[in-house]
Chains A and B, each alone.
Chain A
Amino acid sequence: MSQTTIDPRSLRAPPRRPLRLSWSDERVRAIVWQILVVGLLGAIVWWLWSNTVHNLEVRRIATGFGFLNREAGLPIAENLIPYSPTDTYFRALLIGLLNTLKVAVVGIILATVFGTLIGIARLSKNWLLSKIAGVYIEVIRDLPLLLQLLFWYAILQGLPGPRQALHPVGGVFLSNRGLKLPWIEWQDAHSYALLAFALGAVFTWFYRRDAIRKRIADGRPRPVWPVALGCLVVLPVAIWAAAGAPWTVDWPELRGFNFRGGLNMSPEYFALLLGLTTYTAGFIAEIVRAGILAVPHGQWEAAQALGLRPGQVLKQVVLPQALRVIIPPMTSQYLNITKNSSLAVAIGYQDIVSIANTTLNQTGQAIEGIAIIMVVYLSISLSISLFMNWYNAKIALVER
């Protein structure tokens, strides 16, 4: 018994047999199946492709993206960068992409804030608050988003005209022309101050990381707040003051039949933003609630027993654990907001889908138009997933 030694490698990997050309060999079956499936799919794609080429020839549609350099001639109401109908299709589509990003980014921020608040309200000990949050979540999630968008748009269109605009607080006007808000007149000094703030934030972040590292090394606390105050408040304000401290608020006022000045949100944009935010907030609220509930009660009690203040308990103990549960489903909600912003086409907000759709109707370039939509959304989805995966990996539990 003891003399028979078994080579441990032979237990793990069975000896590679030569490939027998027989149906009873698993590897042969695997190869045959794969060839069959790939061949079948390839044949279908080839058939569709040859039909398409033939149809395009019959209809005399030129393929390719040459049309992007032609004059678009389509008016666009909202543009972040200058645009006129004499510009090219390429620029029109770029405007559409920017409009999509404008609603998606603002929507993601608002929905996160609003959804987190509702999720916390759902967990409140106050019965009435918790029930109201519950009813909100249930109702908003059980109605199609498109219906909600049409509903908000119908409400905005039913508002009185600019002369009888709703005027809840000074400088804010809500009418059937959209929402008007006061806004500061943007000057170079503001841009410099903003730049200083951004650089200061980056510096503070690195400083804080360094301070924590040193504290772990020698145990001496190093306060971060003086640096943060200097970089985030004092320096930007000083730069702003040095540039002449411009501060002119641009108040919207009624001139004739419409408003002048201020920040303008069109009814289409406002309805889309409102619909996307309230809808997605319902889903985010449930994610936040599940995340907080996922932290065992013992963690709260242990943190309190260590003498941490309630704010510290939340920040240092509960949130880091809850975020691990929250981040993956939150990522898919952010992707959903971006994809759902394509419903803009139903209420006439000119996002990338709406403009690509007009383009393909005007030029007949159906394949290219839809390819552009798909590439744009695939790139946005991929970027958001990559970023959130990086963030998720950063906060993931590090086990020894």
Chain B
Amino acid sequence: MLFNSLEYFIFLPIMFVLYWFVFNKKVTVQNALVLAGSYYFYGLWDWRFLFLIIASTIVDYFVGIMIENNADERKKQKLWLWVSMIFNLSLLGFFKYYNFFVDSFVDMFQLLGYQIKSTWTLQIILPVGISFYTFQTMSYSLDVYYKRIKPCRDFLSFATFVAFFPQLVAGPIERASNLLHQITNKRTFSYEQTAAGLKLILWGLFKKLVIADGIAPIVDDIFMHYETYSASTLILGVTLFSFQVYGDFSGYSDIAIGTSKMFGVELMSNFKFPNFSRNVAEYWQRWHVSLSTWFRHYIYIPLGGSRVSKMKAIRNISIIFLVSGFWHGANWTFIFWGGFHALAYIPVYLMGRNAIYKDSVVGENTLFPTFTEIGQLILTFAIVTFSRIFFRSESLTDSFNFIGRIFNNFSYEHYVHPNGYRMVDYYILLAAFVLYEYRIRKDERSPFKFRSKAVRFVAYTLVVFTMLLFYDSGFDRSFIYFQF
């Protein structure tokens, strides 16, 4: 079930009404409803893969308890932690990476001059959201192991924590320390929280339906036929892809966070206006925050983080970016994408500028950014956008050909929309979007923060009206991050 489908707009109010009016007496009953709803929500894609979620839930539930039960024996605790890691990584390894390893193995032998026929590759369907919920359950076992949280002994609550439908298929990847206690405790209805949730859902839908889906046919066309387009069109294509992937994923996250709010649950922020980052380090503090912090807590810091020698710190940075790339997909393009970001991040780290923008936003105390800040924003956006050529291309060959066409034969040509629409509509739309996001840049959870009710009403109306102006009924409206 997609967030931007009619089914969801029937499902959500039904769940809301049942949750607050029918099953509102006991938290266990509410959780049972949410769990059943979550399994239904997921099962509409492919009910067979529900068993993977249930299996992951059972394994980590028992691992958590066993780690606590063996409090005096660290070795046994470690063994139980390994059970969780091996189980979850095996799921990922099989469903997501098996064919990639087999193909890479065959390619490597062929490079060495041995001809092997790949007979081991399998027809495997990637279960939606597997990278998200396996990381969530692993983080739970790790947190129990490192004594950051107590294990959950209520199976129903734990299963609800793993399968909570708003964030099940594409995050935010929650930590048990943030989400689990909200699931186990009684929730109370709050008008302010629900209204804030509805506003986020509206803003998320706008980003998905207008920004991402509006641009998608142009991006698809340019990347599919890049051999026939000039450099200016290729630059346009990858720039628009930057907006598309941002609109798509942050739109999804906003809807997820907004939906959770409607059920009295606060999820962590996943996007904090990454297009207004002044360097690559700040970008990673603002883009897909739940994944970045996951890697930071569970890989980067255990490896020593930045409190080690410079060389080791550079190694650690490289590792998390390469792993992050690999997390996105079983393709060398993603690993290159991660490697490129490591190369862009390391100079920032060496100059000691990786944490200087941690607690501020661009134009912190001014209406407009300074010229220096504008330069920083453009440079960061250009670096990040360039990396997306690897992210979007089908193969490394395509990526390098794409880049080659930009640099070897620079020329300008007028681009015509594949469906004949006026391109100027999209340029105006994006300019307005960037300006509006700049206005709200200090609070990603309040996209309609206006004192005047009338202004707020005008904003809602314009958002809905623009959604109609750019609605495309013939477009496949799935989310990009579902493939990960």
Decide whether A and B assemble into one complex: no
A binding-site residues for B, Cβ under 8 Å: none
